[in-house]
Amino acid sequence: MSKSRLGILGGAFDPPHVGHVELARAACAHFSLQSLLVLVVADPGHKATIAPAAARLELARLAFSDLPNAQIELDQHARTVDWLEEHRPRDAVFILGGDELAAFAGWKDPERVLELVTLGVAMRPGVSEAALREARARLSAPERVSLFPMTLQPVSSSDVRASIARAESVDGLVPPEVEDAIERLGLYRAQ
């Protein structure tokens, strides 16, 4: 296992939830990361967002606030490879949930992404380790993909948004500070 210095976790974070935070914690521990960069994608090219970028940035800052050496930034690039090409991080691990690895081959220039960073892919409940190993083997540089263990209840941003729209509690699905900010900002309520 290599001791990488920087972990990068990117996403829409619409909203950030406990799964995102646990993913970051597990990656930091497994890869002995010295710092974590959380990139809130302003306008993801692959999916629509509900909350404005500034609100999602605020929520992410709250969600990851107790992680040491975490920096949260707004990313104006729609595609990961574009940010990586501009910033050229050294000795970095780009962190993904296991469910995202199957879609990785469809990213913009996945071969270049693998040249610029190592992928750290969480093996989490509901995602078969055999399927992850198969998906990794199909990539151009499978040796640049490291799997790591993670245990957590399944939660998704869409589930959180749906619960809020139905006026249901999201206690335990998002960090308390995020829940308070969502309420204060009036986000994700049924229209």
Count of structural domains, the chain: 1
Where in 24-117 does DSSP place strands (E)?
35-41, 70-75, 92-97
- Cα maximum dimension of the chain: 48
> Tell me: the pLDDT tens digits for 133-159?
999 999 999 999 999 999 876 799 999
In a domain, 1, yes or no: no
Percent of the chain whose predicted confidence (pLDDT) is above 70: 97
Which CATH number is 139's domain given?
Answer: 3.40.50.620
Q: How confident is the model at residue 99 (pLDDT cuts 50, 70, 90)?
A: confident
Query: What tokens were used for 139?
Result: 């990539």
Whether the model pTM is above 0.85: yes
What are the Cα distances from residue 1, in Å, to 45, 93, 131?
33, 12, 21
In a domain, 110, yes or no: yes
> Tell me: the pLDDT tens digits for 41-53?
999 877 889 999 9
Radius of gyration of the chain (CA): 16
Q: What is the mean pLDDT of residues 63-76?
A: 96
In a domain, 81, yes or no: yes
Asked if pLDDT for residue 2 goes beyond 90, the answer is: no
Q: What is the mean pLDDT of residues 34-44?
A: 96
In a domain, 90, yes or no: yes
Helix (H) or strand (E) holding 101: helix 98-104
At residue 120, φ and ψ (nearest 5 deg) are -105, 110
Contacts of 107 (CB under 8 A, 6+ apart): 79, 80, 81, 113
> Tell me: the pLDDT tens digits for 158-169?
999 999 999 999
Quick one: pLDDT at residue 4?
Answer: 52
In a domain, 190, yes or no: no
Quick one: pLDDT at residue 1?
Answer: 45
From the DSSP assignment, how many helices (H) and strands (E) are in the chain? 8, 6
Quick one: pLDDT at residue 191?
Answer: 56
**What domain range includes position 96?**
6-185
